[in-house]
Amino acid sequence: MNHARRLGILGGTFDPIHYGHLDAADAAHTALGLDEVVLIPAHDPPHRQADPYATAYQRFALVSLAIANRGGYHVSDVELVRSGPSYTVDTLRDFHARGWRPSQLFFILGTDAFAAIATWHAFPAVLDLAHFVVIARPGVTTERATSGVPALRARVCSAADLVDASAGPTRIVLVEAHTRDVSSTAIRQRLAAAAPIDDMVPASVARHILTNGLYGAVDNLHG
């Protein structure tokens, strides 16, 4: 393995995946010069009280379709084949076991998710296992997301400041970017109302959802 390589990791329930997820991945990819980005659907998302609406393998299929034409983007089943809650700390340790160093890993998440970082399993130790890349999301600024954990301010930097990711401890990297105001909840609500979702997800994802009747969708073209 070339240890100079940078791997972006975007985890999530992806119930379903949408343009907001892809925009965040693209923003991190561009800002940090990532060599690859791997998307990891959670099998048992610990911060979600209710079970996902689609099965783990349906969500895996949707992610695969969403990134099919994106060079350097991959989907991993590392959390689907592991039993128990899908904790980020376990996933990052799995990548370490494969030979990746913490300084090579860039865990991507939105400001909405980072605002609750202090509630994560194994916090704050999990922050030592990778650089955490915090992407601005509509309604939650990067400043607001980091204000709830003032003890972490010394670790915060911008993408431009992270010239040598291998030097020193892992960092919290703030990326200001435009990401579309889309949520999986809003997509499911539209589908329940038989409304189109073409502006919220890639065409291949929309077709798969409609053809297979996921989330209560009705395919008006195929009955």
The domain segmentation of the chain, as residue ranges, is 7-187
Stated pTM of the model: 0.93
Closest CA to 217 of 189, 182, 192: 192
Half-sphere exposure of 66 (CA within 13 A, CB side): 31
Q: Which residues pair with 175 in a beta bridge?
A: 135
Residue-wise DSSP of 104-123: GEEEEEEHHHHTTGGGSTTT
- What average pLDDT does the structure give for the chain? 92
Closest CA to 209 of 188, 185, 183, 189: 188
Q: What is the pLDDT of residue 219?
A: 59
Lowest mean pLDDT among 83-92, 94-103, 147-156: 147-156
Q: What is the pLDDT of residue 72?
A: 97
- Per residue in 13-51, pLDDT (tens digit) is 999 999 999 999 999 999 999 999 999 999 999 877 788
- Per residue in 128-182, pLDDT (tens digit) is 999 999 999 998 889 989 988 999 999 999 998 987 777 779 999 999 999 999 9
Distance (Å, whole) CA 140 – CA 145: 7
Does the bond joining 85 to the residue before it have cis omega, within 30 degrees of 0? no
Q: What is the pLDDT of residue 220?
A: 46
User: What CATH number has the domain spanning 7-187?
Assistant: 3.40.50.620
